[in-house]
Structure 1
Amino acid sequence: MGFVEFRNVYKRYKMGEVIINAANGINFEIDRGEFVVIVGPSGAGKTTVLNILGGMDTCDEGEIIVDGQKINEYKARQLITYRRFDIGFVFQFYNLIQNLTARENVELASQICKDPMDAEEILREVGLGERMGNFPAQLSGGEQQRVAIARALAKKPKLLLCDEPTGALDYATGKSILKLLQDTCRQNGMTVIVITHNMAITPMADRVIKIKNSKVENMGRNHSPADVETIEW
């Protein structure tokens, strides 16, 4: 059994008279500690998968298993606990609290979990040792995304879910953020899932899941994943 499994997962939305299949029988599995890229065009169903996996949405049919638990059977209160303790989120826009420093933004996340990492230690790990006292407005986009990643990592989550984490960044900065995510996966044994429309970054993944028309078009593994520095797009 995989660390994460989607088994025949369906999610439908009703818009007026029209029913949209956002997930139309999705199946995949992911092993613990893998760096996974879920790739596909806009509207393919990638974010729906991420939202269901992160406990921000529920499926209509199917099973979602994370670390042996069927999260599709969770009640609302269980999903809150799951999001709080088990999941780290990194989004395209950093969602930092503007009147808190980098350190305070990270400390905020660590206040809600059981055994958090030290905020200053994790900020040093992501290369922000000199910027802990700065407010988001005093940081570049790449630095703000590093704070967001530090905030997610401080919880020691089972899964780090990243939705287009380089979408708002320039090429070089985006590469440095992807390297940070890849290094985090390798060094901490963390399961990291990155959602993107950028096919060029798939060589850096252990596992690539291609989603098209709300289904898994194919899934493959890279037996020798590339370092992100070697990838051009």
Structure 2
Amino acid sequence: MSYVIFENVCKYYHMGDQTIAASDHVTFHIEQGEFCIIVGPSGAGKTTVLNILGGMDSCDEGLVLLDGREVSGMSEKELTDYRRHDVGFVFQFYNLVQNLTALENVELASEICKEPLDPAQVMESVELSERMNNFPAQLSGGEQQRVAIARALAKNPKILLCDEPTGALDYRTGKTILKLLQDCCRQMNKTVIIVTHNQALTPMADRVIRIHNGSVASIEENKEPLPVEQIEW
């Protein structure tokens, strides 16, 4: 069985008399340890898919499974535990606690889960061992995003979900962050899923899911994904 399964997943929003399908019978699967990119224009429904997989939103129809466990049938309490233990989130904006140091931000995440990784070692893995005692305001945007990735990884999650993780960064810093995410996938065998509107990133993925108007337009597998250093945009 595949690690992540979406089967005919629908999410509807009601505006007056109109019903809008943010997800319209979305079906795909992702294998364990894959680097997957979900790509599409703004408003296509990418973030809706990510939020449903991350347990931040529920679907109205369909089946969602992670590692054989049905996410789509979970109660609110079960979803809270699922978000806490199984999912690492990385957003466009870093959402760090400003009055905590970089290390304390990572420690905070490690304290709420079952089998955390050592926060200091994770900080070292994202090349921030020299900045552990700095506060977010003392860090660059790229460094803050690395802290956010370290915070997500410290939970030792089953999947890492990244919503436009380089959207607030310049080109060079963005490439550094993408390399870090690709390395996490390869070296730690983490299943990493990135949502982006940037089509140029797709050659670095094992699997590319294109979403358009709330539906899956195509799914492609790259037999030989490129390292991010070889990609230009």
Q: Give the aligned partner of residue 170 of structure 2.
A: 170
Report the CA distance between 1:118 and its aligned residue. 1.1
Instruction: Count the aligned residue pairs.
Output: 233
Matched-pair identity in %: 65
Which 5+ residue runs of structure 2 have no aligned equivalent? none
SS of 1:8 mapped into structure 2: strand
Q: Does 2:230 correspond to 1:204?
A: no
What's the offset of the Cα at 1:203? 0.2
* Cα distance in structure 1, aligned partners of 2:159 and 2:35: 10
What is the aligned partner in structure 1 of residue 83 from structure 2?
Answer: 83
Name which of structure 1's ranges 39-48 and 12-21 shifts more when overlaid on structure 2.
12-21
1:5: which partner in 2?
A: 5
Structure-to-structure mapping, 1:67-216, within 5 angstroms: 67-216=67-216
Please list every run of at least 4 consecutive aligned residues from structure 1 whose deviation after the TM superposition is greater than 4 angstroms: none
Per-residue deviation at 1:156?
0.5
Residue 20 in structure 1 maps to residue 24 in structure 2:
no
Match of 2:59 in 1: 59
TM-score (norm 1): 0.99
Q: Report the AA paired with residue 194 of structure 1.
A: I
Q: Deviations over 1:166-199 (max 9, x none)?
A: 0000000000000000000000000000000000
Distance, in Å, in 2 between the alignment partners of 1:155 and 1:136 is: 20
**Offset from partner CA, 1:22-48 (integer Å, 9 cap, x none):** 000000000000000000000000000
Partner Cα separation in structure 1 for residue 226 and residue 83 of structure 2: 31
CA deviations on 1:84-129 (whole Å, 9 max, x unpaired) are: 0000000000000000000000000001011211111100110101
- 1:151 is paired with a residue whose SS is helix
Distance, in Å, in 2 between the alignment partners of 1:193 and 1:5 is 13
* Partner Cα distance (1:17, 1:120) in 2: 53
Quote the offset at 1:15 in angstroms. Answer: 2.0
Counterpart residue identity of residue 231, structure 2: I
Please give the residue correspondences for 1:28-39 in structure 2 after superposition, counting only pairs within 5 Å. 28-39=28-39
SS across alignment from 1:72: coil
Over aligned residues, Cα RMSD in angstroms?
0.5
The 1-side partners of 2:105 and 2:19 are apart by 39
TM-score scaled to structure 2, two decimals? Answer: 0.99
Match status 1:224 vs 2:224: yes
Structure-2 separation of matches of 1:53 and 1:92: 18
List runs of 5+ in structure 1 lacking aligned partners.
Answer: none
